[in-house]
């Protein structure tokens, strides 16, 4: 039976609820207005759970406003590593009535709803638990401590020793004095006792296995992974005009700038940002710009400058829904065509789209080196969902590659654009050797002198495009998920849809369906074609038209039978992808 109260639909069950057992996966969602403390709760709970040995995955959805609205964060506590969003909610902590309304479609008969009594529908019982967070906070000494009490409730329900949280609180608030520390601990203790009592009266049992060794396990989000990959790739110059969700990479590298010798430039606009990056690269720096699709739209002339002058640059784009301002804080994969066809004229480029923390670190390094080696612009596409998602990662899974220099010491008579079989010229920089290093945005000859000779034009166009052959042949092969050789159907993903595809295929357990994930989406290695032969192909992507499906068909000549698409501003959930794959398999 369903009860409706102020637009919020809550499922009503008899008071005598059955046992709630969580043996492998627990989905906790915290919902409230911006500024109400949702992030405060999760920022405390996640490291505590990590220290206790659980695998964690957390993702956030929030409105584009500083105060108000309705935001939520999901924390999945799992016995095995997962990196995907699920629509299922096991525990919902609603900090205001709007959170209940906002999340009503995800509330099921098995969801336990924790909220102040005044927020709950009058007819709601059974699955709704009166949770006096404000009373606990007041008893501790300040209304702001309700967030700490909420963390204590979760630990109490899970029967995790309170000491883990109190140790965290002492470290976190030590600089604010003993009184603040003591008040937080009081709030945590009150919440913990409530959680223990609730677990006993509701017969809630969490028996999720813990990871044996946490000494080599790291906790990070996608933004930090991108920053780590940039540092590992030798980036020593970043220029950006802030634009979500790409801004975090700028702030991460600014934070680490003194430690790693990184020049950080917050430019006056996106045009200045990419031109500053190209200028720094011309001088010998390894340069990165970070932005979103709307910001990159202003950089296109600079992109063509990189192509004409053969000056390396790495461009990170955190995708979000467009066009125009679109939905600034939501997620989408709709900028692939933008980066494939951006810029006037024809020149080589490469595009990466990592799908996990490990891949972000790996492909950022690959992009840095490839840009230097081939003297081209290289893109790294992420999105809001992937950048903001928090997960555990094994330190041993992070591979750091040597940083190779592709700069030569010039001699007298050096020619910046000398011809070669593969289209690559020895790259010099000003001041390193006797040669004169020139760059010209006009068409030019081998010595960088402007020209309008048609024969020279043809020669230089061919030179710039010739490197595409080597780029294709050395392109990363996709990662296979399951027995792709034996499967009849291949579900193909790129970028942030990797984690949800892996879990959906695991749930289905159908040997006739396998997955293939692309972390490099252009150019595509021609050796891929034989892997697609005789397969029914479905491409999974967070956009409305199937941009990668079009590209894959164009590059390989294979027919794409199905497209699994979503363009609402939300990521795919595991549940909806499972259903979509079933429909695809029966089509």
- Which pLDDT tens digit goes with each residue over 402-452? 999 999 999 999 999 999 999 999 999 999 999 999 999 999 999 999 999
Q: How many CB atoms lie within 10 A of CB 154?
A: 27
What is the pLDDT, as a whole number, of residue 406? 95
Q: Please state, in angstroms and rounded to a whole number, the distance separating the CA atoms of residues 346 and 466.
A: 11
What are the pLDDT tens digits along the chain (587 aa)? 233 333 343 344 444 445 789 999 999 999 998 888 888 899 999 999 999 999 999 999 988 887 878 899 999 999 899 999 999 999 999 999 899 889 999 999 889 999 998 888 776 666 899 999 999 999 999 988 999 999 999 999 999 999 999 999 999 899 899 999 999 999 999 999 999 999 999 999 999 998 766 568 899 999 999 999 999 999 999 999 999 999 999 999 999 999 999 999 999 999 999 999 999 999 999 999 999 999 999 999 999 999 999 999 999 999 999 999 999 999 999 999 999 999 999 999 999 999 999 999 999 999 999 999 999 999 999 999 999 999 999 999 999 999 999 999 999 999 999 999 999 999 999 999 999 999 999 999 999 999 999 999 999 999 999 999 999 999 999 999 999 888 999 999 999 999 999 999 999 999 999 999 999 999 999 999 999 999 999 999 999 999 999 999 999 999 999 999 999 999 999 999 999 999 987 65
User: Residue 196 to residues 20, 22, 48, 155, 418: CA-CA distances in angstroms?
Assistant: 14, 16, 17, 8, 74
What is the pLDDT, as a whole number, of residue 36? 81
Is 0.85 topped by the overall pTM?
Answer: yes
- The 3-state secondary structure of 67-80 reads CEEEEEEEEEEECC
The residues, any chain, with a CB within 8 Å of residue 502's CB and separated by 6 or more, are: 83, 84, 481, 515
Question: All domains of the chain, ordered by start, with CATH?
Answer: 2-206 (3.40.920.10), 219-397 (3.40.50.970), 407-474 (no CATH), 479-586 (3.40.50.920)
What is the pLDDT, as a whole number, of residue 585? 73
What is the pLDDT, as a whole number, of residue 9? 39
Q: Which residue has the tokens 């340069």?
A: 287
- Whether 423 contacts 463, CB under 8 Å: yes
- Strand 513-518 relative to strand 390-394, pairing: unpaired
| Class of residue 70 by CB neighbours under 10 A (exposed 0-12, middle 13-18, buried 19+) | buried
- Which pLDDT tens digit goes with each residue over 228-261? 999 999 999 999 999 999 999 999 999 999 999 9
Q: Please state, in angstroms and rounded to a whole number, the distance separating the CA atoms of residues 319 and 316.
A: 9
The residues, any chain, with a CB within 8 Å of residue 579's CB and separated by 6 or more, are: none
Asked if the peptide bond before residue 50 counts as cis, ω within 30 degrees of 0, the response is no
Q: Please state, in angstroms and rounded to a whole number, the distance separating the CA atoms of residues 360 and 340.
A: 20
- Whether 320 contacts 382, CB under 8 Å: no
């Amino acid at each position: 039976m369903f009860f409706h109260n102020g637009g919020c639909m809550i499922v009503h069950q008899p008071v005598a609820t059955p046992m709630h057992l969580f043996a492998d996966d627990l989905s906790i969602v915290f919902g409230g207005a911006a500024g109400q403390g949702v992030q405060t709760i999760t920022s405390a709970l996640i490291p505590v759970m990590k220290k206790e040995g659980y695998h964690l995955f957390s993702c956030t959805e929030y409105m584009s406003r500083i105060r108000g609205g309705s935001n939520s964060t999901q924390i999945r506590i799992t016995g095995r590593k997962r990196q995907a969003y699920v629509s299922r909610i096991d525990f919902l902590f609603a900090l205001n009535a709007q959170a209940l309304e906002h999340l009503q479609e995800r509330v099921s008969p098995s969801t336990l709803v924790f909220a102040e009594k005044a927020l709950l529908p009058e007819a709601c019982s059974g699955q709704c638990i009166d949770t006096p967070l404000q009373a606990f906070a007041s008893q501790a000494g300040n209304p702001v401590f309700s967030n700490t009490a909420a963390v204590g409730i979760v630990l109490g329900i899970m029967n995790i020793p309170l000491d883990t949280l109190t140790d965290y609180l002492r470290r976190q608030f030590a600089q604010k004095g003993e009184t603040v520390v003591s008040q937080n601990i009081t709030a945590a203790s009150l919440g913990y006792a409530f959680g223990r009592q609730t677990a006993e009266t509701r017969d809630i049992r969490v028996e999720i296995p813990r990871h044996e060794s946490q000494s080599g396990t790291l906790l990070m989000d996608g933004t930090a992974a991108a920053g780590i990959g940039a540092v590992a790739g030798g980036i020593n110059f970043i220029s950006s005009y802030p634009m979500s969700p790409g801004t975090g990479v700028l702030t991460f590298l600014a934070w680490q700038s003194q430690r790693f010798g990184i020049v950080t430039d917050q430019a006056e606009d996106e045009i200045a940002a990419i031109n500053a990056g190209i200028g720094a690269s011309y001088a010998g720096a390894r340069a990165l710009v970070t932005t979103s699709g709307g910001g990159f739209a202003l950089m296109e002339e600079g992109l063509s400058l990189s192509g004409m002058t053969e000056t390396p640059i790495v461009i990170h784009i955190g995708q979000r829904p467009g066009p125009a301002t679109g939905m600034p804080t939501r997620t989408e994969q709709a900028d692939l065509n933008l980066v494939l066809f951006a810029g006037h004229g024809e020149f080589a480029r490469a595009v990466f789209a990592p799908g996990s923390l490990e891949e972000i670190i790996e492909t950022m390094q690959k992009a840095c080196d490839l840009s230097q080696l081939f003297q081209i612009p290289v893109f790294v596409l992420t999105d809001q969902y992937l950048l903001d998602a928090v997960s555990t990662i094994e330190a041993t899974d992070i591979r750091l590659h040597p940083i190779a220099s592709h700069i030569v010491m010039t001699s007298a008579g050096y020619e910046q654009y000398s011809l070669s079989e593969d289209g690559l010229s020895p790259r010099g920089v000003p001041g390193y050797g006797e040669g004169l290093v020139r760059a010209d945005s006009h068409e030019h000859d081998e010595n960088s002198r402007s020209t309008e000779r048609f024969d020279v034009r043809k020669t230089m166009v061919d030179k710039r495009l010739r490197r595409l052959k080597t780029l294709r042949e050395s392109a990363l092969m996709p990662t296979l998920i399951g027995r792709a050789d034996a499967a009849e159907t291949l579900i193909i993903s790129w970028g942030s849809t990797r984690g949800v595809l892996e879990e959906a295929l695991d749930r289905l357990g159908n040997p006739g369906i396998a997955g293939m994930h692309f972390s490099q989406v252009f150019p595509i290695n021609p050796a891929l074609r034989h892997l697609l032969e005789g397969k029914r192909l479905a491409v999974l992507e967070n956009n409305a038209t199937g941009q990668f499906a079009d590209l894959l068909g164009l590059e390989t000549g294979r027919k794409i039978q199905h497209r699994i698409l979503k363009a609402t501003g939300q990521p795919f959930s595991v549940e909806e992808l499972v259903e979509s794959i079933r429909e695809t398999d029966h089509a």
